[in-house]
Chain A
Amino acid sequence: MFTRLNLRFPQRFPQRLPRITGAGVIMLLTAAALLLLVGLPLLYVLLQAIFPGWSRGELSGAFGLFVPLLSDPELLELLGNTLRLGIAVVMVCALLAIPLGALRALTRVPGGGVWDLIFLIPFMIPPYIAALSWMLTLQPRGYAEQLSGVSASAFLFSFSGIVFVMVLNVFPVVYFAVSRTMMSVGGRYAAAARVSGASAWRAFWRITLPLSTPGIAASLLLVFALTIEEFGTPATLGAQSGYKVLVTGIHERFADWPIDIPGAAVLSLLLVMLAMAAFYLQHWLVTRRSFVSQTGKPAAVERIELGHWRWPVLGFFSLVALAAVAVPIFAVLATAFTGTLSGGITWNNLSLRHFEALFANRGGALQALSTSLGLATAAALLTGVLGALVGYLVVRASIRGKGLLDLLSLLPNTMPGIVVAVGLILAWNQSWWPIQIYNTGAMLLLAYACLLLPYPVRYASAAFRQMGESLEEAARVCGAGFFTTFRRILLPSLAPSLIVSMLLVFAIASRELVASLMVAPAGMRTVSTFVFGQFEQGSPGVGMAMSAVAIFTTTALLVALTVFSRKRLPIAG
């Protein structure tokens, strides 16, 4: 294998894995971990959909549910609504975030890396809190009306309103993918184009943008998957406008007595199929040609000076930040710092009582915070390591069934959190497991790792696709083993994408709600279940106070991390 010299089309002649080496063992373990983490719960959901009595241990009535459910005319509407929403959010996200990311990567935007931090914040605002914030802001007598006399409830409680709020929630996925990818491809190739006489625009359209396709497509796929599985926003805003999607249908079956787990499982399978279709579209886009653009040490990008364009660009960034970050945070703080909702924003109504309630540790608020942060950190590390390995496996190794692994690593992104949670419960709450992890904090970790694994995998595999195999070959020729190559060559070039994806995992895991509600062991609370509980029991003030504390803590942690390791973390630019 050292003698293979034809390295120009590495994608078409993937290297065979050595038989029994460190690499082989690692890859085997990776595949096993993936199957255990993702395959097992999915298998149980599938079995539940096929055998309605599965959770009771009965095998009767197989496939009995498919026909009545699938012939329900309401289903067509749910399916149509889901698709429409997913496509709309993807398109608006692309229009908004690709220019943002490209500007950030290729030009000197005033503020630079600060924008990266700001655009990470929407991720730390739980979607249902964001939706609630917009509701509190834009509904009649909402904060906007109290402060400026404007209300826009007709817009908010409509399809456009739902798309608007969801885009603001998920656009950072695309922004980060685009800016990271363009930073790594934009430098040398665009420079070569410029040297050959292309204008800056031409270099962008003909070189940088096309070469960034894998990263962009992967991130848009994530957005699509995130949108069709998101529950908070459609449930909060859609209920008032009568816009129902598959996920709300699934939740109805879970939350309404009598509970219909088999029906929910069937609907979930539909959702998964939708996502699979999207996955194959993306797969087709990125694999029909080679995007190898990194064949050496990443070079620093020569950024374009914006000149007079500085101000409109700054205005664009600020506007997005205002809508995605400032407004929701303001609504959260306004609700947290006012004594009563009916009192509105007045000086008399200013009160610290919700924070006092919080810090008096009512309902274990602080413990919930530390639980969430700990779990989110663990989930980020676990998915980061596994994601890098899976990404490598999927792109580089030529083993049978790697397509299946690729698919498996994406599927959780399309499964509603509640379905993954039920799959996990069905799979792990069995008395025959030698170690009982059900009803322990490990279940939460498994749930987060399963749900969020797609992020590192997507980012890592996109990075591997852009990385020439010649780098590894060179390392091996020099006598490096798999571990050394991985650590010294692959990881450093992978690090920018991988770290961003791990930060995303951290941010999302620290506020994940739906699965947490289901699998949190009795006696353990996370930030999100705490907040949700407060809303359910009619204490929106305390709920928002907790959200504020959580959003600021996670943000502060990330800022500290960035400052602390400025040279290593690309996020500081």
Chain B
Amino acid sequence: MFTLKPLALGVCLFALPGLASANALTVYSAGPGALIENLADDFTQETGIEVNVFQSTTGQVMARLESEQSNPLADVVISASWDSAKSLHEEGLLHEYRSPNAETVPDFLKTDHYVAQGVSALALVWNRNSDVPQPADWSDLTETAYKDQVTMPDPAQSGAAFELITGLLTAMGEETTWQLMEDLADNGMIVPGPNARALNPVLQGAKSVVFGAVDYISLGQQAEGEAIEVVFPESGTVIAPRPMMILASTSMPDEAEQFMDFVLSEQGQARVAERFLMPSRTDIKALRPTIEELTLIEVDSEAMNAQREAIINHFREATGI
């Protein structure tokens, strides 16, 4: 054992990267890792400002912000849930900034404190190799053909799935929505967790359809050759904008603003489009159906969020999970 120690110590010293650079901009980002890494690299190349990225899920990013409250470290935060930005703003934690590059971003995707990096929508994802027909609308999945073939992300764990429920509540009314959920549950729908967990069984074919998948992940997989189809239901769907914000506690507001400008620049927005997200700027070409082409349900998210807990509880009751 003693002979090994110096060797092992050497390995540690070699492998432990140095301390994080103090002059770097710190970005916490939910969602596509490749996107934020590309954005950070491009930004460093253009401005010479180093960027440290922490990339994870929205829940993890928020948990980290929450536990760091006494000594915040992040300068820029990108989340996948619009409400999270709203609530950080209400707590007075956000820095006020409107990027000049946000001019062509539609008004409902920007405020004085946060702006969408890109937008995703919710969809049905269907496995082409499955024995069930391609669904066209949400309610199709209650048919017996889809018995035991449907998965759905948990609205308690996926902000996007929660948006979908609120969208359905708006479009179809309470009674019909909860009836739909009950029927789906009776038809054997499972709710296995956040987005990726609902999608994986469908990729392999254990299940055939995802009810309410985040579209860009599936579009990316389809482009890589997975036998899946992303279906935007006829009766309409909801979008999930991904808010980008600067924390008021930042010690580098200028650099943070520069970063925001860069993400909203043509180059940055092209990177967003690459990941099959809708760019928030309307003048950048998307590789997928955009807000104008989709049938959207307009949701009064403020009212809906006020009753978030009640909605989640109702969902649990209806689906029995």
List residues of A whose CB falls within 8 A of some B CB.
55-57, 132, 135-136, 139-142, 153, 235-236, 239-240, 242, 252, 254-259, 261, 339-344, 362-363, 367, 370-371, 373-375, 377-378, 380-381, 418, 422, 425-426, 429-431, 438-441, 495, 499, 517-518, 520-524, 529, 533-538, 540, 561, 564-565, 568
Chain B contact surface mostly: mixed
Q: Which residues of A contact B306 (CB under 8 A)?
A: none
User: Does B144 sit at the interface, judged by CB under 8 A?
Assistant: no
Query: How many whole Å from B127's CB to the nearest CB in chain A?
Result: 6
**Cα distance A537–B205 when bound, in Å?**
19
Given A370-B15, A537-B31, A537-B196; A141-B204 close (CB under 8 Å): yes
Within 8 A of A (CB), among B73-108: 73-74, 81, 83-84, 87
Query: When the two chains form their complex, are residues B63 and A261 in contact, meaning their CB atoms are under 8 A apart?
Result: yes
Number of interface residues of B (CB under 8 A): 82
**Cα distance A57–B69 when bound, in Å?**
9
Q: Which of A342, A381, A533 is B205 in contact with, Cβ under 8 Å?
A: A342
Query: When the two chains form their complex, are residues A537 and B157 in contact, meaning their CB atoms are under 8 A apart?
Result: no
Q: Which of B1, B11, B53, B87 is A522 in contact with, Cβ under 8 Å?
A: B53
Q: Which residue of B lies closest to A425 (CB)?
A: B67
Q: Which residue of A lies closest to B312 (CB)?
A: A256
A-B contact pairs, 19 of them (CB 8 A): A135-B200, A239-B193, A240-B190, A259-B63, A339-B225, A342-B127, A342-B128, A344-B204, A370-B15, A375-B12, A426-B67, A438-B73, A499-B1, A518-B60, A521-B52, A536-B56, A537-B33, A565-B3, A568-B3
Query: How many whole Å from B194's CB to the nearest CB in chain A?
Result: 8
18 more A-B residue pairs beyond the given contacts A340-B224, A341-B226, A418-B63, with a C-beta to C-beta distance below 8 A: A236-B193, A255-B157, A257-B62, A257-B84, A261-B66, A261-B67, A342-B226, A363-B33, A371-B16, A377-B12, A425-B64, A429-B71, A440-B19, A518-B67, A522-B28, A523-B20, A523-B51, A568-B1
Within 8 A of A (CB), among B199-225: 199-201, 203-206, 217-218, 220-221, 224-225
Q: Which residues of A contact B33 (CB under 8 A)?
A: 363, 533-534, 537
Q: Which residues of A contact B26 (CB under 8 A)?
A: 439, 522
Q: Which residue of A lies closest to B26 (CB)?
A: A522
Given A239-B197, A343-B227, A535-B196; A524-B20 close (CB under 8 Å): yes
Given A235-B193, A378-B16; A538-B70 close (CB under 8 Å): no
Q: Which of B5, B201, B217 is A538 in contact with, Cβ under 8 Å?
A: B217
Query: How many whole Å from A536's CB to the nearest CB in chain B?
Result: 5
Q: Mark B1-30, 1 if CB is under 8 A from A, else 0.
A: 101110011011111110110001011100
Q: Which residues of B contact A367 (CB under 8 A)?
A: 17
Query: How many whole Å from A409's CB to the nearest CB in chain B?
Result: 21
Q: Mark B183-201, 1 if CB is under 8 A from A, else 0.
A: 0000000111111110111
Query: How many whole Å from B111's CB to the nearest CB in chain A?
Result: 18
Query: When the two chains form their complex, are residues A425 and B68 in contact, meaning their CB atoms are under 8 A apart?
Result: yes
Q: Which of B9, B31, B70, B74 has the most CB of A within 10 A?
A: B70
